[in-house]
């Protein structure tokens, strides 16, 4: 037994003196500071991994929310209001068609129909100016009711100053000071089935319900078709043009 203990002690001494000898066990001893550094590094890697994972999760959630979110849409009415141009139809005054002065421009047929009603079914007419018109018509839309028109487009003049509405080209309705300058003019009858017949009306107000007429007339020749226009008035012509 004593001999065996001595043998073991001798073997240990040999390993300590000659660590390269085969069969010796090499033991590495780490200090407390090295251990703490290793632990901290491992902790930082774990924290970084968790942060990256959270960011990826948030991105996936955000992308899913974007896919599910409904984008804002505009109804046709809102587009008409924004552009200031309303195709023929039936519109509630004030809500669907804002109050203002509108130019109703006839389509390729050259004719239009416009009127104001108390109900959306257009069964009760309240406009004193429900008309069939040639070329164009200018109306101030305000109050309650529904404006209905066909074969034309309505333009909000406050948004469309560029639209040309020339009384020298044919019949229609025109703003004095915008479409034609104040002054004295002759009316030239159209050539066609009506011969030398011409008709005209001058308004001081063009409210759709009750327009105010300053003067009006009809003529059968060029000799008695002279008219005088003032700033702010409105001229309506039929079967003739201004010269």
Could you tell me the residue range of the domain that residue 140 belongs to?
74-163
C-alpha span between 199 and 173 (Å, rounded): 12
* Domain count within the chain: 2
**96: DSSP letter:** T
7 belongs to a structural domain: no
The tens digit of pLDDT for each residue in 144-176 reads: 999 999 999 999 999 999 999 999 999 999 999
85 belongs to a structural domain: yes
* CATH (domain of 154): 2.60.20
Q: Are residues 91 and 118 in the same domain?
A: yes
112 belongs to a structural domain: yes
| CB-CB contact of 164 with 193 (8 Å) | no
Helix (H, G, I), strand (E, B) or coil at 199: strand
Q: Which residue, among 57, 61, 58, has the nearest Cα to 69 in the 3D structure?
A: 61
C-alpha span between 20 and 9 (Å, rounded): 18
Straight-line distance from the first to the last Cα atom of the chain, in angstroms, rounded to the nearest whole number? 142
**139: DSSP letter:** E
Q: Which of 1-5, 114-118, 197-201 has the lowest mean pLDDT?
A: 1-5
DSSP string, 120-141: TTS-SB--TT-EEEESEEEEEE
The backbone torsions φ and ψ at residue 120, rounded to the nearest 5 degrees and listed phi first, read: -70, -15
40 belongs to a structural domain: no
Q: What predicted TM-score, i.e. pTM, was given to this entire model?
A: 0.68
238 belongs to a structural domain: yes
C-alpha span between 202 and 216 (Å, rounded): 6
C-alpha span between 208 and 143 (Å, rounded): 9
132 belongs to a structural domain: yes
C-alpha span between 169 and 242 (Å, rounded): 8
Q: How far is CA 11 from CA 14, 18, 24, in A?
A: 5, 10, 9
183-189 and 198-205 as β-strands: parallel, antiparallel, unpaired? Answer: unpaired
64 belongs to a structural domain: no
Q: Which residue, among 116, 151, 155, has the nearest Cα to 134 in the 3D structure?
A: 151
* Domain closes at, from 129, 163, 197: 163
The tens digit of pLDDT for each residue in 179-229 reads: 999 999 999 888 766 567 889 999 999 998 889 999 999 887 656 689 999
Q: Which residue, among 35, 122, 176, has the nearest Cα to 200 in the 3D structure?
A: 176
């Amino acid at each position: 037994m004593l001999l065996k203990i001595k043998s073991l002690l001798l073997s240990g001494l040999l390993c300590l003196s000659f660590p390269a000898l085969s069969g010796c066990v090499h033991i590495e001893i780490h200090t407390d500071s090295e251990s703490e550094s290793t632990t901290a590094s491992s902790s930082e890697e774990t924290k970084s991994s968790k942060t990256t994972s959270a960011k990826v999760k948030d991105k996936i959630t955000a992308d899913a929310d974007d896919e599910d979110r409904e984008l804002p849409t505009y109804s046709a009415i809102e587009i008409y209001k924004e552009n200031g141009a309303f195709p023929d139809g039936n519109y509630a005054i004030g809500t669907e068609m804002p109050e203002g002065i509108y130019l109703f421009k006839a389509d390729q047929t050259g004719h239009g129909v416009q009127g104001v009603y108390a109900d959306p079914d257009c069964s009760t007419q309240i406009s004193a100016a429900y008309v069939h018109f040639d070329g164009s018509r200018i109306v101030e839309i305000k109050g309650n009711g529904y404006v209905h028109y066909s074969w034309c487009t309505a333009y909000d003049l406050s948004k469309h100053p560029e639209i040309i509405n020339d009384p020298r080209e044919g019949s229609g309705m025109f703003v004095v000071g915008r479409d034609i300058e104040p002054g004295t003019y002759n009316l030239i009858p159209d050539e066609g089935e009506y011969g030398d017949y011409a008709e005209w009306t001058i308004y001081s107000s063009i409210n759709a319900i009750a327009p105010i007429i300053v003067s009006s007339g009809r003529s059968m020749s060029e000799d008695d078709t002279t008219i005088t226009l003032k700033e702010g008035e409105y001229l309506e012509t039929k079967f003739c043009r201004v010269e």
